[in-house]
Amino acid sequence: MTAAPVVLKAEGLSKRFGGLLAVQNVSFTQYAGEVLAVIGPNGAGKTTLLNLLSGVYRPTSGRLHLLGQDVTDRAIEHRCHLGLGRAFQIVRPFPEMTVHENVTVGALFGKPGRNLSQAREVAYDLLERTGLSAHAGKAAHELTLLQDKRLEVARALATGPEVLLLDEVMAGLRPGEAQEAVHLVRSVRDSGISVLFIEHIMPVVRDLADRVVVMDQGQVIAEGTYREVTANPQVVSAYLGTETELHA
Ligand SMILES: Nc1ncnc2c1ncn2[C@@H]1O[C@H](COP(=O)(O)OP(=O)(O)OP(=O)(O)O)[C@@H](O)[C@H]1O
């Protein structure tokens, strides 16, 4: 059997803020088609890691490879054009623009070489895929929270990613809504996109992740299937005293 190609490879990534090593020597590999979760208690360094992956921060040390290229010193735009998309926890669409226009902007600027009519077509297709077609003409500020999250995913997909980073996109959703969001992420994965996500809601991690990377105090303390990591005493101990219910 041939192993799936590597899409992301972090090698000893660290990020220092003054006296604090927020991310310490983090290494992991993500394979094509894989859904990888990054979990850990508050302050573990998950968001900082995501910022290192997407290019918001340059690492203090370590290297990052994306789709076979060393992108350690590459800007956000370069990573985006290469095939890295990101959806944020706090959704910030252009509120007065329509839902369709918001996705068109992503399709136009996230992928070089598209003209406006191509971007508009891509946007219609993505609204269909993310279940927003019926809301295409609404102003973005009229959407519900779940629809906002769908829009955020549609905007990230509009850049044509091969790897999609999701930063706690389930935050604030009710359980039924979170299940709908899980279906959406599965459909993204089924379309061939590799997904790396940060999540605090353990049932979501259990339902979605092929593999889980657990961080604590900036370091990776465990890696494996959901079952493996939640049975790991070091992981259990890292979560003790936190509000997160580790065993979903
Ligand atoms: N820009 C920054 N400047 C200084 N310290 C920072 C900065 N960003 C994060 N930190 C610190 O780095 C550590 C890791 O923070 P980070 O936000 O990455 O953790 P997290 O695992 O995402 O936490 P949470 O689950 O609460 O979002 C924390 O101690 C945080 O205070």
| pLDDT computed for residue 68 by the predictor | 95
pLDDT digits (tens, 9 = 90+) for 1-44: 557 899 999 999 999 999 999 999 999 999 999 999 999 999 99
- Provide the 3-class DSSP secondary structure of residue 119: helix
Q: Identify whether 244 is part of a domain.
A: no
Q: ipTM for the complex? A: 0.97
Ligand 1: distance of its center to the CA of 43 in Å?
5
Residue nearest (by alpha carbon) to ligand 1 atom 24: 42
Question: Would the CB of 43 count as within 6 Å of ligand 1?
Answer: yes
- Provide the 3-class DSSP secondary structure of residue 243: coil
User: Which tokens sit at 51?
Assistant: 């910022």
Report the amino acid identity of residue 205.
V
Number of domains the chain contains: 1
Is the model's pLDDT at 88 over the cut of 80?
A: no
Q: How many CA atoms lie within 13 A of 188 on its CB side?
A: 35
Cα 7 from chain centroid? Answer: 14
- Provide the 3-class DSSP secondary structure of residue 213: strand
Ligand 1: distance of its center to the CA of 205 in Å?
21
| pLDDT computed for residue 94 by the predictor | 82
Question: Would the CB of 244 count as within 6 Å of ligand 1?
Answer: no
| pLDDT computed for residue 141 by the predictor | 93
55 vs 247, more confident: 55
Contacts of 206 (CB under 8 A, 6+ apart): 226, 248
Cα 163 from chain centroid? Answer: 8
Ligand 1: distance of its center to the CA of 143 in Å?
30
Question: Would the CB of 47 count as within 6 Å of ligand 1?
Answer: yes
Ligand 1: distance of its center to the CA of 46 in Å?
8
Is the model's pLDDT at 198 over the cut of 60?
A: yes
- Provide the 3-class DSSP secondary structure of residue 63: strand
Q: Identify whether 248 is part of a domain.
A: no
pTM of the shown model: 0.92
Contacts of 117 (CB under 8 A, 6+ apart): none
Q: Identify whether 245 is part of a domain.
A: no
Mean pLDDT across 214-227: 97
pLDDT digits (tens, 9 = 90+) for 173-195: 888 888 888 999 999 999 999 99
Residue 67's CB: how many other CB atoms inside 10 A? 18
Can you give the CATH number for the domain in which 148 is found?
A: 3.40.50.300
pLDDT digits (tens, 9 = 90+) for 157-174: 998 999 999 998 888 888
Is the model's pLDDT at 228 over the cut of 80?
A: yes
Q: Identify whether 217 is part of a domain.
A: yes
CA distances from 38 to 20, 88, 154, 196, 220 (A): 20, 15, 22, 7, 9
User: Which tokens sit at 138?
Assistant: 């609404």
Q: Identify whether 90 is part of a domain.
A: yes
Question: Would the CB of 22 count as within 6 Å of ligand 1?
Answer: yes
- φ, ψ of residue 156 to 5 degrees: the values are -65, -40
Q: Identify whether 129 is part of a domain.
A: yes
Q: Which of 56-65, 86-95, 102-111 tops mean pLDDT?
A: 56-65
Q: What gap in Å lies between CA 236 and CA 233, rounded to an integer?
A: 5
Q: Identify whether 73 is part of a domain.
A: yes
Q: What's the DSSP call for residue 58?
A: -
Question: Would the CB of 20 count as within 6 Å of ligand 1?
Answer: yes
Q: Identify whether 247 is part of a domain.
A: no
Q: Using 50, 70 and 90 to split pLDDT, how confident is the model at 246?
A: confident
Pairing state of beta strands 35-39 and 194-198?
parallel
pLDDT digits (tens, 9 = 90+) for 112-137: 788 999 999 999 999 999 999 999 99
β-strand partners of 17: 20
Domain around 154: 6-239
Burial class (CB in 10 A: 0-12, 13-18, 19+), 90: exposed
Dihedral sign computed on CA atoms, order 202, 203, 209, 211 = positive
